[in-house]
């Protein structure tokens, strides 16, 4: 899934960001219960001067699962 999002982002002229984060595991469970560190990949494309479309993937780096992690697509509005 990550590879597909990355290829689509590159072909469409999106900006692509990657990152690593941590989360307090005890306070996020049972909704999100993956071990740290967390990998983040985001593709963003401008739609207007203040609105961007985005797709975001979040998953645990050390855990290999059968699922696809947490995936979001939507729009962002810049306040300034």
Q: How many residues does the chain have?
A: 80
Domain that holds residue 44: 2-77
pLDDT digits (tens, 9 = 90+) for 46-67: 889 999 999 898 888 888 777 7
Residue 28 DSSP SS3: helix
Domain tally, the chain:
1
Phi and psi at residue 25, to the nearest 5°:
-55, -40
Q: Tell me the pLDDT band of 7, cut-offs 50, 70 and 90.
A: low
Phi, psi values for residue 64, rounded to 5°: -105, 120
Q: What is the pLDDT of residue 4?
A: 66
Q: 9 burial class (0-12, 13-18, 19+ CB within 10 angstroms)?
A: buried
Q: What does 35-50 look like in DSSP terms, one character per residue?
A: PSPEEEEEEEEESSSS
Give mean pLDDT, residues 31-59. 88
Q: Name the pTM for this structure.
A: 0.72
| pLDDT tens-place string over residues 8-26 | 666 667 788 889 999 887 7
């Amino acid at each position: 899934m990550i590879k597909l999002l990355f290829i689509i982002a590159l072909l469409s002229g999106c900006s692509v960001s990657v990152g690593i984060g941590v989360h307090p595991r005890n306070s996020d469970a049972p909704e999100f219960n993956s071990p740290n560190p967390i990998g983040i990949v985001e593709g963003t494309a401008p739609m207007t001067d203040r609105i961007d479309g985005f797709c975001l993937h979040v998953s645990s780096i050390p855990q290999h699962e059968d699922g696809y992690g947490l995936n979001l697509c939507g729009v962002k509005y810049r306040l300034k």
